Amino acid sequence: MEWLQKHMPKMVLAPSFMAILLFVYGFIAWTAYISFTRSRLLPKYEIEGIIQYERLAQSPRWDVAMTNLAIFGILFIVISMVLGLLLAILLDQKIRTEGALRTIYLYPMALSFIVTGTAWKWILNPGLGIELVIQGMGWESFEFNWLTDPNMAIYTVVIAGVWQASGFVMALFLAGLRSVDQEIIRAAMVEGVSTPRIYRSIIIPSMAPIFMSAFIVLSHLAIKSFDLVIALTGGGPGYATDLPATYMYTMAFSRGDLGQAASSATVMMMVVMAIIVPYLYSELRSRHDG
Amino acid sequence: MMDNLVKDGSLRQVALRAGLYAVLIIFALYYLMPLFVMIVTSLKSLDDIRTGSLIGLPRELVFDAWGKAWSGACTGVKCEGLQPYFWNSVLIAVPAVMISTVLGAMNGYVISQWRFKGSDFIFALLLFGCFIPFQVILLPMAIVLGKMKIAGSIGGLIFVHVVYGLGFTTLFFRNYYITIPVELVKAAKVDGAGFFRIFWSIFMPLSAPIVVVTVIWQFTQIWNDFLFGVSFSQAGTQPITVALNNIVNSTTGVKEYNVDMAAAIIAALPTLFVYVVAGKYFIRGLTAGSVKG
């Protein structure tokens, strides 16, 4: 009984610990291992070196997926941050209807990316969608067919992604703006410093951690983006809007090419690690020091 | 442009305020536009859709699309609408949310109040697990679910959602319980209370807010999940997001945009409802899930 009491905390934590060890770390190791084999439809366990990574490097489709990730990732993160910060600053001006506006700006975050993709697919529909609305306003020659244009389709993913996530960035920044020391701001006001300057030189610099969080969340969303592409473009036209996540899924479940699926998943993991590990490391360290 | 700090009623100030409100309202319209388009499209007839405008109001209200989306639309071969898949999602989400919340509460309680050598390390392992791209576990999980004989079943999906939800639920409870002074536990121990007794009579009564945050977070995540749903389900056990995608991309017959939109709204209603009635907790979960520490 005494022994049981003493070890109870460990026993409570044990199942979760085991689960995480196996289903997260064990699985990552398995996938990384398979990425060095010639596995096709079924896993093979003989190590064959970096052949799968060479195949990735030579695959035009993977090239498109990585280029798309760069285009989508950068635009999605930058636009969402700029829009989010702008909305947060505007909402911070003692707006009477702030609560209602905040609710409106943030609701897309409650939706599934599949719902968002379905809605935007209809809005951007060449022929019946926004194109027709603008034509109806008198601009007869207006054309908007990004959804079916292989060179532009990836930007429709940006449009829908920003719509979904920018309100959330706004909420993060608004919380950040509110947590800035009011005394300093009041002192600056007494000194006659202009409001834009107060934002530029005092408030925004002190929000560095919030920028970091927003960046982490958005980059994470960008790398994981799968549902949105599936619902909006299905990866098409052709494979013009493939992202690493859709490439991996296609290799795993439609092509039966486990080696390619595993190696592309491993690359995704590396990209995430390159962003997350320094962040988590500094977070956990600062907690120990504080 | 942003003079909340200067209080003078000059004409310039009034104009600035008006401009500010105008900009805020334009953005509000931008965020509302897709929802508006979805609703009006779902209430139009196909004829109306083809000849009218995307943002125009319906010439006459037609509710047929809603009935069809709920019980008649085709997801591939079957034409029984979203209804069975809606209930699949409920059957997956409810137990998965409950189990992962209870486990997260226990884990957070241990990691914050009953620390032992290595408990911080386990927390770091759990935390890192929140960030992995799930593609990296998709293949082995498919094999293991097969070995466990729960591949393609509702039970399998519950299992997957519980395992990969643990990181966040633990994080939520740990960050909440860490604000409760350890002296409280110490005093209770002196009085002879044990591990579960202390949890039950001290921590449980304090936990209502964080339970709400965690439940909302988990419910939204699981309800909106598509990747696990499409990878680990089979005909008959698919969650609503997968069914919605199948309806929209079904190539048989005429394209019924009104049915697509009604189906999308039906799929979105539960999480939208949660957001509207408990938005405060929803936002708290979002920010807690992103601002760690």
Go through chain A and tell me how many residues it has: 290
Confidence of residue A180 (pLDDT cuts 50, 70, 90): confident
Is the separation of the CB atoms in B91 and B285 below 8 Å? no
Contacts of B167 in chain A (CB under 8 A): 20
Q: Give B131-189 pLDDT, tens digit per residue.
A: 899 999 999 999 999 999 998 899 999 999 999 999 999 999 998 998 888 888 889 98
Distance of alpha carbon B41 from alpha carbon B39, whole angstroms = 6
Q: Are A113 and B245 within 8 A, CB to CB?
A: no
Question: Quick check: A213 and B291 CB within 8 A?
Answer: yes
Q: How confident is the model at residue A238 (pLDDT cuts 50, 70, 90)?
A: confident
* Helix (H/G/I), strand (E/B), else coil: A89: helix
Most confident range (mean pLDDT) of A71-75, A177-181, B3-7 is: A71-75
Contact A163 B116 (CB under 8 A): no
Q: So what's the pLDDT on residue B106?
A: 95
CATH number of A62-182+208-289: 1.10.3720.10
Contact between chains at B28 and A101 (C-beta distance less than 8 A):
yes
The minimal CB distance from A110 to the residues B136, B163, B271 is found for: B271
Inform me whether the C-beta atom of residue B66 falls under 8 Å from chain A C-beta atoms. Answer: no
The ipTM value here is: 0.89
CB contact (8 A) between residue A24 and residue B290: no
pLDDT of residue B101: 96
In a mutagenesis test of the A interface, which of B32, B131, B227 is the best target, namely the one with the most A β-carbons within 10 Å? B131
Give the model's confidence band at A288: pLDDT under 50 very low, under 70 low, under 90 confident, else very high.
low
Interface size, chain A vs chain B, as Cβ–Cβ contacts under 8 Å: 278
Domain B83-290 class? mainly alpha
Q: Closest chain A residue to B113 measured between Cα atoms?
A: A9
More confident residue, A290 or A276: A276
Q: How confident is the model at residue B2 (pLDDT cuts 50, 70, 90)?
A: very low
| CA distance linking residue B149 with residue B152, whole number of Å | 9
Residue A3, burial from CB neighbour count under 10 angstroms (0-12, 13-18, 19+): exposed
Residue B293: its pLDDT value, please?
36
Decide if B44 contacts B52 (C-beta within 8 A): yes
Count of CB atoms situated within 10 Å of the CB of A83: 20
Selected residues 129-148 of chain A with any CB under 8 Å from a CB in chain B: 129-130, 132-133, 136
A9 and B119: CB-CB below 8 Å? yes
Q: What pLDDT does residue B5 have?
A: 46
CA B24 to chain centre: 27
Q: How far is A151 from chain B (nearest CA, A)?
A: 22
Q: How far is CA A160 from the centre of its chain?
A: 12
Lowest-confidence region among A237-241, B193-197, B284-288:
B284-288
Nearest residue to A113 via CA among A228, A249, A233, A232: A228
Q: What is the pLDDT of residue A88?
A: 93
CA distance B102 to A142: 55
Residue B3 pLDDT > 70, yes or no?
no
- Residues linked to residue B75 through DSSP beta bridges, in sequence order: B78
Give the pLDDT confidence score for residue B290 in this predicted structure. Answer: 60
User: Which residue from B37, B166, B272 is facing A107, i.e. has the nearest CB?
Assistant: B272
Alpha helices in chain A (DSSP H): 2-20, 27-34, 51-58, 60-91, 98-106, 113-123, 130-136, 153-178, 182-190, 195-198, 208-224, 227-232, 244-249, 258-289
Look at residues B234, B243, B241 and name the one whose alpha carbon lies nearest to residue B79: B243
B293 to chain A, any CB pair closer than 8 A? The answer is yes
- Which residues in chain A have Cβ-Cβ distances shorter than 8 Å to B53? 132-133, 136
> What is the pLDDT averaged over residues A72-101?
92
State both tokens at A62.
């993977």
At residue B289, the pLDDT reads 61
Residues of chain B within CATH 1.10.3720.10 domain(s) are 83-290
